[in-house]
Structure 1
Amino acid sequence: MALAQAQALVPNLHVADATPDEDEASLRELARWAIGYSPVVAPDPPDGLWIDIAGVAHLFGSEENLLEDLTDRLTGRGIAVRAAVADAPGAAWAVARFGAGGIVPADRTADMVAPLPVRALRLSADKLGTLHRLGIERVGQLAAMPRAPMVRRFGRDVALRLDQALGHAFEPISPLIPHETPMASCVFAEPIGRSDDLKTILLRLSQDLCRQLERRGEGARRLDLIIQRIDQKGANLRVGTAKPTRDARHLAKLFDERMQTIDPGFGIEEVVLVASKVEPLREMQTEARVIAGDSTSEADMGRLVDRLGARIGTGKVYRLAPVQSLIPERMVRKIPPLAPPTGSAWPQTLPRPTRLLDPPEPVVVTALLPDHPPALFVWRKVRHRVAKADGPERIVPEWWNGDAGSVPRDYYRIETEQGGRFWIFRDAPADQGGNWWMHGLFS
């Protein structure tokens, strides 16, 4: 549409000069930001990003969690976003722009791409014009045509784009690696495939990378291993550290737990190790207790945290810190395992259970009188007869934290005849009825 026509339709239309160079720079900056999600990120001008989440989705719990976190953060920055996850880049591109977005199951790629317009195939304008003139409007119509006549009539590029959208043709993504990012790489004259060879190369790359970090006065907090096979397929592994480090052997060992997941195929031709997140690291004098082999040193604790994080996920390694609150589920919070002390003391309250149920689970309670402690209760279809009961301990809502509409809780510490110890509460005073809930278990 011409500018004059647009202004005629919208009298108060705001017009700004196009700045393609600035748009491209902004897209590259957004791609740099997205490296926090995956080591393989590439701009897709003019308004898209490729993000290969293979090997990193587990760090967020699932592909759904990663996608939700990504879109929420972009929306929070004022960026309108549509996103999709699929086995094939072409399918993700099509569903994100012309479909409903979200997760495309591997066995439903063709079903979800077929109803989309042929524009979803990333074809040139002249190819789209030809298809439209022939009445081919949907991907499914094109896919239903015999292969050989389709190639003769529309060209191999149309067939390739169709195959890429359906996941029948491999489409590599060339990752964006900022020039200032510390990295080390190795290209092999002959492809390798043995796990021991890969570990040897990884140690060599770690040593090279740590020398770069030493010159910069930095330590690695996150490493990405990018593996390229001779068939152009790749694999990505990501590990993190609790504290910045330049210990090459330790960094290489962090990949050991997940090295077995790599399929070398017909051979690996290139390996790239990238320090995608670094922090300043100054030289420190080694303490005498470290020289003496004290395994409880801070450095050893950091290595332990890193190995646990590489094995079970960094988000699952944490410690608890106290929070000034009377509400049981608010009294602690998760912090990084090596975070400095918060300065808050653990509250001196009545005994609390070692395991808290979140959310509390309903129980059926029988008491001698409405305001008496439980004499018998049923929890998870198991009947428990009470031997001792201590309470009630009343915990009132914190109106300053938005609990104005909540009701007080009356807690009882219960010991059963079988020796089990439980923490049960009623969510209203005895004269108001209320329901009973299991909130915790004592060790």
Structure 2
Amino acid sequence: MRRVISLWLPTFAIDRINHRAYGKSQANPSDKMIDKPLATITCTHGGQRITAVNSVAQAVGIVPKQSLADARTLYPSLTVHQADPTADLKALNILREICERYTPWVAIDTFDNTPSNVSLWNTGLWLNITGCAHLFGSEEALLEDLFYLLKNIGYQARAGLASTPGAAWALARYKTDPQTKRWFISNTNEDIRNCIAELPMKGLRLECDIIEGLERMGLLSIGDLYRIPRAPITRRFGKSVLHRLDQALGDLEESLSPQRGRSTFSKYLAFIDPIGRREDIEAALNRLVVSLCTDLEQANQGARRLVLTLYRVDKSTGKVQISTSQPRRDPTHLSMLFREKLEIIDPGLGIDAIVLSASETNPLKVRQTGLNINSIAEQTENVIKLLDRLVGRLGSDNVTRLEPVERHLPELASREVSTASIPSGVKQDWGGPTHCPSRPLQLLVHPLRIDVIAEIPDGPPFLFYWQNHQRRVIAAEGPERITPEWWLIRGNMWKTKPLNNDVRDYYRIEDKDGKRYWLYREGLYYPDNHPTWYIHGFFT
């Protein structure tokens, strides 16, 4: 039987502000802000209006959608804060992730039929706990644990638990009390009909004008709809009234979709008894990785970033994240990357649930490799695995690769980027024609000026001085001329030098000791101008 919790957070926006102002916990009722009327406001065309209030403000008659002027009339010293829907949604998403310790199926309740004459702000969450309650002993024990968690965080809440989302939603809002009964449980499908019969029509999640029309007809409670023919209701108000009623009673299926951030690949594992030994954590991790990689393979996807979330017994969470330079779904490789980080995990008093999710994925199709184990594909695979391990140990910013840049000057023809930025499907080489002139294995970031003697002005070096030693040249190849980047005529390089001074003639030379160098002459010979020589790199 399906079991759904509707978790209602009637003062969520206010609780978030208190949480920000006073720290992580508002369980201590002595804070002065909690005892004062507090509201959030937003600017509209009709002026400033109330968007959310706390229970103290509700008690003096201040309600959402009321104008600030009217609210000040009721309570002149009302404390107000500017509404921040973006921050509210961010905090609600964080709470949604926290509640995944009870079930992997958690979603934000987006319904809001708040009329101007009631003090409701329908922020809430859906939790499908089907098959999860036994891990906590019972549904009652699960709810106790959930409300203990919310109290420690600082959120006021009420909840309804039933076999249909519609019934759970109505029970949370109209069958509970913030002081004496914070949640209500409907145990069976047959029990729903009696549980919601006395609840107001607002419990069916109908639009405000429909609710007002039903009340004018004398239909004040949900049970009033049981005793009248369905056809007149449909003709008068459309299908929505009976549609919502059937959903609440279980006669019509209502589907809800869980929200798991950006990740669509996620695996959840809960434990009857908390675990803390590294061997147990590794075994659970390996099980989740294999299952997740199977899903990735079926979808022709590979993981670029994986997040392991651990839910501890003391309600805290821990996270371990790994990233790969290329899309991966090799369970052995991914498990190894996680194992190298398990030593930083603090199990605390024990871990009772873990979630593994792929927060970033890219397409990855099956690739045919050669039979030769020394093939280029095999070597590339080994390099990628090494990169992943280095990134895991040193951080993505400390492991870089060269990316080509369309520039003439060799020192500007590439740049360092993080290996994590390699896009899916990128070529393993830069390509290009095979007759390109060779380049040195080691390239100096900044060319160094040297003294050179040449037999003729435009010829290759005969000898040069490097590191206080005279190097005699026995072989030279060149010149390879690299001209200025004419499209950068407005650049700094042409503001201070004549055009010809930027022409470079490169030579690949070898000295009498067998060492090979990459030298260039900058500029051309003409009257009153003597080019300068630089060393730019070293060959093997």
Larger Rg: 2
Q: TM-score, normalised by structure 1?
A: 0.49
TM-score of the pair, normalised by structure 2: 0.41
